[in-house]
């Protein structure tokens, strides 16, 4: 699609570090990325900034290079389209700036374009869901490892954990599923971070356990399909 043929379209240049779309603001334009790299960032209420996606001029599908395309479907036709994240140029960028109404009219009239937007929306949803799951996994691993650290005590040069509760009791205490506890504990043993002893558990790799507890690394404990 030659986006320059859409009413009101024009070439727009952005310097590295400039913002194309600001989180919390209503957008007037979408931008087709011709050249450069753009990061989609979200700022949480706690002031933490996370990069959700990275866009470049080498995207697999053309519609993915249209920055702000999903925002324009976030509200009713006559309502402001407010961005829930920011798009920031990580390099000097060349874009085609397209008025929102021009792009909407084009998409409504072109079935292939609309289908591409729907597919992109679903891919984006799946990506964010995967990111959320990874974050949840990381938090759960950290909870278990922190619990083990808190329960450990040094004895005869070894770091031991006595009186470990059953998985179901530990799961209730930490607010996660018992199967998840079982898998994480199994993975920690497999990675030789902890080892089962007659009198409890021994921490055999304190450095890694501390790293896991403090989110400096994580482990995958889910079964592969």
Give the range among 29-33, 35-39, 158-162, 183-187 with minimum mean pLDDT. Answer: 158-162
Residues 30-41 as b/e (b if ≥16 CB within 10 A, e otherwise) read: bbbbbebbbbbb
Cβ neighbours of residue 177 closer than 8 Å, sequence gap 6 or more? 171
- pTM, rounded to two decimals: 0.59
Q: pLDDT tier at 142 (50, 70, 90 boundaries)?
A: confident
State the Cα angle at 220 between 179 and 174, rounded to 5°. Answer: 45
Q: Is the alpha carbon torsion for 55, 56, 61, 66 positive or negative? A: positive
Quick one: pLDDT band at residue 159, thresholds 50, 70, 90? Answer: confident
Q: Where are the beta strands (DSSP E) in the chain?
A: 10-14, 19-21, 29-35, 37-43, 49-56, 66-67, 86-89, 93-99, 152-155, 158-161, 194-197, 200-203
Find the mean pLDDT for residues 171-179. Answer: 79
- pLDDT, residue 33, reads 94
Compute the CA torsion angle 16, 21, 25, 29 (nearest 10 deg).
140
CATH, domain 3-109, list 1.10.3210.10, 2.60.120.10, 2.60.40.10, 2.40.40.20? 2.60.120.10
Q: In angstroms, what CA-CA distances link 62 with 55, 56, 136, 164, 199? A: 11, 11, 32, 54, 61
What is residue 68's predicted lDDT score, i.e. its pLDDT?
92
Second-level CATH architecture of 134-213? Sandwich (2.60)
C-alpha 30/C-alpha 61 separation (Å) is: 16
Which residues of the chain are in CATH 2.60.120.10 domains?
3-109, 134-213
In this prediction, residue 131 has a pLDDT band, given cuts at 50, 70 and 90, of low
């Amino acid at each position: 699609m030659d986006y320059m043929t859409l009413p009101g379209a024009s070439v727009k240049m952005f310097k590295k570090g400039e913002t194309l779309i600001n989180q919390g603001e209503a957008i007037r334009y979408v931008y087709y990325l011709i050249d450069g790299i753009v990061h989609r960032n979200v700022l949480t209420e706690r002031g933490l900034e996370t990069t959700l996606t990275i866009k470049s001029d080498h995207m697999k599908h053309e519609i993915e290079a249209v920055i702000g395309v999903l925002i324009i479907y976030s509200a009713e036709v006559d309502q402001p389209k407010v961005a829930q994240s920011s798009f920031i140029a990580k390099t000097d960028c060349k874009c085609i700036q397209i008025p929102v109404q021009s792009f909407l009219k084009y998409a409504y009239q072109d079935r292939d374009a609309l289908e591409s937007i729907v597919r992109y929306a679903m891919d984006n949803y799946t990506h964010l869901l995967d990111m959320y799951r990874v974050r949840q996994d990381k938090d759960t691993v950290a909870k278990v490892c922190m619990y083990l650290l808190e329960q450990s005590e040094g004895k005869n040069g070894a770091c031991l954990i006595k009186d470990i509760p059953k998985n179901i009791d530990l799961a209730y205490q930490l607010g996660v599923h018992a199967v998840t506890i079982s898998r994480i504990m199994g993975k920690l043993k497999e990675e030789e971070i902890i080892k089962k002893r007659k009198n409890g558990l021994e921490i055999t790799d304190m450095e890694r356990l501390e790293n896991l507890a403090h989110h400096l690394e994580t482990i995958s404990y889910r079964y592969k399909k």
